Chain A
Amino acid sequence: MNTPTAPADLSPDHAATGSVVTTTHTAAEEAILSLRGISKSFGAVAALTGIDLDVAAGEVVAIVGDNGAGKSTLVKVLSGVHAPDSGTIRFAGDEVTLPTPHASLALGIATVFQDLALCENLSVVENLFLGRELRLHRLDEVAMETRSWELLRELSAKIPTVRVPVASLSGGQRQTVAIARSLLGHPKVIILDEPTAALGVAQTAEVLNLIERLRERGLGVIMISHNMADVRAVADRVIVLRLGRNNGEYDARTVTSEQIVAAITGAADNVVARRSARTSIDPQETR
């Protein structure tokens, strides 16, 4: 299901040149989360410059970019780890600040970091409710386990038992647990940082299914990814960052991988395209 259709035309003319920004549509009025002109510097290094981003409810927005493009910094701004130097963040129409991770969570922005942050020695239930246990002085294990099953069933998660240590789960199952945990706080926007980076083919498909289910539940999903196939399989819009700036916004249904790669690298004549031309094979190989 997540095999994207190969672009018919291989000619590089189709690829957007780096300077041209193709904006397909902006959803500012319906956006649940909306960033305008976000900048962030670390000393002399401008990590983010004037970033705009909109996410609507029930929409999957992919953020792609090369190493150092500012993806991680953007995630950290949204999750409240770093405060931006300038720019505005609007959430559900109101202007907000995100000074701490807690503030971000309380507002309804949940982040699943790439390392998942699970305690391997604790079971699935214990991890899901870590930090928000029910009945602190006499843990309500039964209620927590029941709620865990409900949540995992809603996500059609394939986890056979919730009383095993997370250490015994596969990568995809762990990703599922981490995502399920972020859903416990009833977020409106969920940020997934490289959700498929460490996963095999089947597990990647599972996580992509899960992302589609999040969209069906009406959540705004921001997905950071390196993987063009994954991005085009589930995203509605693709936003390209390059050197800390917006470098293109595409409709995921119509954009080609070459266009995205061109925007990521900043030129149609880039190393990926050259390699693709030299080996002259199916462009899917270049992903």
Chain B
Amino acid sequence: MSATVTPTAAPADRQDERLADRSGLGGLLRGFVDRLRSGDLGVLPVVVGLAVIWTVMQSLNPIFLSSPNLVNLAMECVPVGVIALGIVCVLLVGEIDLSVGSVSGLSSAVLAVLFVDRGLPVGVAIAGAVLTGSLIGLLYAQVFLRFGVPSFVVTLAGLLSFVGIQLYVLGPQGSINIPFESPLVYFAQQAFVPDWLSYVLAVLGGVALVVTGLAHRRERTRSGLSAEAAVLVIVRGALLASALAFGAWYLNRTRGVGWMVVLFIALVLLLHYLLTRTAWGRWMFAVGGNEEAARRAGINVRGIYTSAFVLCSTLAAVGGVLAASRLAAANQSSGGGDVNLNAIAAAVIGGTSLFGGRGSAFAALLGIVVIQSISSGLTLLNLDSSFRFAVTGVVLLLAVILDSVARNSRRRTGRA
């Protein structure tokens, strides 16, 4: 309360004298500390966690942060990361999908059968696999909405059923190899962004952030609302561009940035836009926060639930297509093992609340990087999957504990 804004010259949203001045760099920092104290942790735990994991792994094995390993790590993140994007959607409305692993496995199998066994064009095979996922999502939504079966039961039933169908689809041989020369495998294993283009994309990212930021600022100022300092907008854009360019440069020292990684980031950005800038996204948060209030506000709550389940299963199927392409095969263990839990863990570790109504598309991106870093680091240490499962489980538990603690803290300080 040291400096309050004078009511005469203040923008429409800064006139209340009880509002502390939070402009400038100092205000930015104070606001950040306030938010942390009240349990609005944002991405901080993930970033800190990631720093710790990377430091530990690098000290245990110097190959960990080498360019080839990071190139590989980035590619490995994509299939499960895409699945985690879908998990973010169902978690936002306060539901869960435990079957994303089997749905992705079934999608892998459908892709391989259509593309290899039936010899259909690659586009048709992909469409068939993805559509299978969408239909499964629709089925879940119908059972959930019509019969009121809790989502974790519906999807737990789906988990088992779709593994069964996956085995049936794959047939007696149980494994179908996708030819290495096919566009699918090329895309998932060999397609890298040319060096020059990766830098152009990095700069474009920064420029886009600055342009949209300044446009937003202009619009707010014109309407008499407070706006960020232009310098901050530009500095942020410059920081983003340099960070992206540095990452690209480091990866370009060996194979570079995979197109699959670009696809993943594009999906994250698309979902981020949908969740934060469209009415649909707003309604997802509303349904997750207070379903009854959303219904009374005239929101089509059933439609929102349906869209969440369909989107989740569809993205799981896309993840299955990418996983099969990356492995160059679909087999009985596609989508099995820890895929399911990793996807859910990624979304939660990234900061999506299990209680609904909180989360973002970037949660999937950050979370999957954490999960894959642990997985990659332990593999480099020649520790088998038993360790990986145990460690990932502990990290997931930590993330959920953090979520619960932060939620209680938010309650205490009146932020949710």
Q: Which of A133-141, A198-206, A217-225, A257-265 contacts B (4 or more CB under 8 A)?
A: A133-141
Question: Do A121 and B282 form a contact, CB below 8 Å, given A146-B12, A146-B223?
Answer: no
**Number of B interface residues, CB 8 Å?**
37
Specify which of B223, B277, B279, B357 is in contact with A121 (CB 8 Å cutoff): B357
Smallest distance from the beta carbon of A178 to chain B beta carbons, Å?
10
Closest to B224 in A: A146
Question: Which residues of chain A have C-beta atoms less than 8 A from B225's C-beta?
Answer: 142, 145-146, 149
Main secondary structure of the interface of B (DSSP, over half): helix
Once the chains are docked, how many angstroms separate the CA of A118 from the CA of B299? Answer: 13
Question: Do A130 and B223 form a contact, CB below 8 Å, given A121-B285, A139-B282?
Answer: no
- B293 interface contact, C-beta 8 A: yes
B293 near A117: Cβ-Cβ < 8 Å: yes
Question: Which residues of chain A have C-beta atoms less than 8 A from B414's C-beta?
Answer: 167-169
Smallest distance from the beta carbon of A175 to chain B beta carbons, Å?
14
B294 near A121: Cβ-Cβ < 8 Å: no
Closest to B273 in A: A138
Smallest distance from the beta carbon of B284 to chain A beta carbons, Å?
11
B416 near A120: Cβ-Cβ < 8 Å: yes
Once the chains are docked, how many angstroms separate the CA of A162 from the CA of B219? Answer: 18
A113 near B296: Cβ-Cβ < 8 Å: yes
Q: Mark A128-157, 1 if CB is under 8 A from B, else 0.
A: 001111001111001101100100000000
A117 near B296: Cβ-Cβ < 8 Å: yes
- B298 interface contact, C-beta 8 A: yes
Specify which of A143, A168, A169 is in contact with B223 (CB 8 Å cutoff): A143
Question: Do A142 and B223 form a contact, CB below 8 Å, given A121-B285, A160-B18?
Answer: yes
Question: Which residues of chain B have C-beta atoms less than 8 A from A139's C-beta?
Answer: 277-279, 282
A119 near B13: Cβ-Cβ < 8 Å: no
- B289 interface contact, C-beta 8 A: yes
A130 near B19: Cβ-Cβ < 8 Å: no
A121 near B13: Cβ-Cβ < 8 Å: no
- B358 interface contact, C-beta 8 A: yes
Q: Mark B1-40, 1 if CB is under 8 A from A, else 0.
A: 0000000000011001011000000000000000000000
Q: List 23 A-B contacts (CB under 8 A).
A: A101-B296, A105-B298, A117-B293, A118-B293, A119-B289, A122-B282, A130-B293, A131-B283, A131-B294, A131-B299, A132-B297, A139-B277, A142-B219, A143-B223, A145-B225, A146-B223, A158-B16, A162-B13, A163-B13, A164-B415, A165-B415, A167-B414, A168-B415
Pick the 6 closest A-B CB pairs, nearest first.
A131-B297, A121-B289, A119-B289, A160-B16, A117-B293, A168-B414
Give me the interface of A with B, judged by CB distance under 8 Å: 101-102, 105, 113, 115-122, 126, 130-133, 136-139, 142-143, 145-146, 149, 158-165, 167-169
